[in-house]
Copies of this chain bind each other. A is one copy, B any other.
């Protein structure tokens, strides 16, 4: 096979906001799968806030991407050659395949998915990492009960939208926090949240006080910063705060801004617990089964924000941090 594999590699250790010169775009011959490996033609690349953390040279839950390495990314594609007994040519798979057109991976590192049930990008979205993040973070750490007040930030994002919908399924009242009237309308009208607060247009302290006059029982945080502080100030007794992300802080060059209202945990006997989705790696099937049934019955809606063209990667990734996407941001590769 003489095809060319276009790729984005990490060219420099980013400082602050990502910039085009942090990446190098190049090509190399498509690899040959070895024993137990398969060759995947990538159709969709998932763009996730976690990617900002993966390029920092810091101790974390996963080693940093090295300079000169293909940028790490979850992706979905079609198997075009296989030396693995359980994976066939034509199968659709997802995995950490990187920002490139073709990837060679061991079959054991891939997940076969069934595109007769839902479209392939949904396996990068509600039935993929963001959906699992929402499902386990909310249900295992947040433990919402019927009648609870659940607040989620980044509500129009890939994780937040699923969090709010699952909280509604569990009988909670759900308030989303998002930036801009379009996202707020989407969250209420399309996803069925009880209300949404446009933090760019309203004083969040006042708005949370109005919507959550009895306090917040579960707060699912994707953003950190001032929004986290505003939510902490409104906790109810025994509230659970889930620290899923801090997208407002990921491009900070100085010290992170810590939540100055953290003593609200003390007076309310509340807890703040963090996690990464891989902590639940051995329970994904459970999440996929339940969310798959909710998708099939229409209780749960999945929305992907699809941008075409591998070459747009640096600009498209930037949309996550400028808050342009509604739903799961996915890069669709131009190749047919």
Contact = CB atoms under 8 A, between A and B. Distances in A.
Contact of A272 (B244, B267, B272, B279): B272
A274 B272 CA distance: 9
A276 B237 CA distance: 11
Contacts of A267: 60-61, 274, 276
A319 interface: no
A21 interface: no
18 contacts: A61-B268, A229-B258, A244-B266, A245-B266, A246-B266, A256-B260, A256-B262, A258-B261, A258-B262, A262-B272, A262-B274, A263-B274, A266-B276, A268-B274, A269-B273, A269-B275, A269-B279, A270-B273
Interface string A257-300: 11111111111111111111001000000000000000000000
Given A256-B260, A269-B275, 14 more contacts: A60-B267, A224-B263, A249-B263, A258-B258, A258-B261, A259-B262, A262-B262, A265-B272, A266-B275, A267-B276, A269-B279, A271-B271, A271-B274, A272-B272
A93 B242 CA distance: 43
Contacts of A265: 243, 272-274
A137 to B, nearest CB: 10
Given A256-B260, A256-B261, A274 B279 contact: no
A255 interface: yes
Contacts of A271: 271-274
Contact of A258 (B260, B268, B275): B260
Contacts of A269: 273-276, 279
